[in-house]
Amino acid sequence: MSLRREAARTMGFRSMKGGVAMSDGNKSSGDAEGYGDLRVFFAGQRTMLAWVRTGVALMGFGFVVAKFGMFMREMAVVREVETTQRGVMSLWAGTALLVIGVAVNLVAAARYARFAREFKANTPPRATGIGPELWLAGVLSALGIAMAVYLALVQ
């Protein structure tokens, strides 16, 4: 049994038409209503994994930014330089990036769960809009501007 057929059988698909697993034997991949096409399911998985990758990158970058302030304080102590900066901005910016990364992963998981439910029920996917994407872009832009202003004002 081929890998595609085994995957289709495991996921509960009933037929294969033209090498494409279909959830309903009467629909072909050329039909407008061929929602059971495994390629659509795998595209949904790839999209979710891309968002998870983005969230993990944000969390990692947030951790680095938060720890950078601590590193700079330690360097000042080693060099015996008096500093008035406490690195509070890097802690808050890093924490914000970390929290945004967690939120991105939660939204990705929720959207994928809904997509998988709709796919299994063989219903057309609902339009989700671009709200979370615009929110993420706006928050990251505001955070970037705040960090740029902070860096410009602190000597």
Share of the chain above pLDDT 90, in %: 17
pLDDT at 25 (0 to 100): 45
**29 and 98 housed in the same domain:** no
**71 and 18 housed in the same domain:** no
pLDDT at 119 (0 to 100): 85
Please name the residues in contact with 60: beta carbons below 8 A apart, sequence gap of 6 or more: 101
**58 and 132 housed in the same domain:** yes
**28 and 54 housed in the same domain:** no
pLDDT at 53 (0 to 100): 95
Confirm whether pTM is higher than 0.85. Answer: no
**21 and 92 housed in the same domain:** no
For residue 120, give the nearest of 41, 21, 51 by alpha carbon: 41
Rounded Cα distance between 132 and 124, Å, is 21
Number of domains forming the structure of the chain:
2
**Residue 42 falls inside a structural domain:** no
**101 and 136 housed in the same domain:** yes
**Residue 62 falls inside a structural domain:** yes
| Range(s) of the domain holding residue 100 | 48-153
**59 and 125 housed in the same domain:** yes
Rounded Cα distance between 125 and 44, Å, is 11
Mean pLDDT rounded to a whole number for the chain: 76
